Amino acid sequence: MDIRKATPQDHEKMKYVWSECILTTCYFLTTREIKKLEKEFEEKFLKDPNINYFTQWLGDEFVGFACIRGKDILFTPINPVYFGKRYGEQMVAYILENYEIERTYVYCSDMHSLAFYSNLGFEIEDRIPDIFFGNPYEINQLRLGVSQEEALRLVKSKILS
């Protein structure tokens, strides 16, 4: 598995994986909302110079990516065909090893992502309006509830299990 900085050539793959992940985990979104999110994701996030982007590869296969801004993990979508294979944990381990992280965000109704991050040491800090896309759905603002070193230990233990 290889994790590297994203390039503009990766954007189409990133948009595809992001959409597939949203379709699989955010059952509460309508088709119209998902289409709106796809467009906004490209316009607001893929072109933002303040966001660091990383892609994850298994040989020639694009697995997923991560976006971080400052001390926040914004997104870590994985192609749903790779769910349950610890690729999400590997991406989070990479981020924790290389960046100081305090927070991440998940829709309140996205139990898949909430369980994922909760198992890695994140705790719900607050419920806030959708600060990313302006949807009527609330977002859980999660704060790392353990030290970064402990979170990394948790993540690595998940990878090995």
Element (H, E) at 104: strand 103-107
- The structure tokens listed for 85 are 């294979």
Instruction: Quick: pLDDT tens for 142-156.
Output: 999 999 999 999 999
Angle at 69 between CA 63 and CA 72, to 5 degrees: 85
Domains and CATH numbers, the chain: 2-160 (3.40.630.30)
**Please, which residues have CB within 8 angstroms of residue 148's CB and are 6 or more apart in sequence?**
96, 100, 101
Q: SS3 for 29? A: coil
Q: SS3 for 101? A: coil
Rounded Cα distance, 104 and 142, in Å? 5
Q: How many CB atoms within 10 Å of residue 30?
A: 9
Mean pLDDT of 94-119: 94
Categorize the per-residue pLDDT at 81 as very low, low, confident or very high, splitting at 50, 70 and 90: very high
pTM of the model: 0.91
- The structure tokens listed for 86 are 């610890």
Categorize the per-residue pLDDT at 44 as very low, low, confident or very high, splitting at 50, 70 and 90: confident
Predicted pLDDT at 133: 83
Higher pLDDT, 47 or 156: 156
Predicted pLDDT at 41: 87
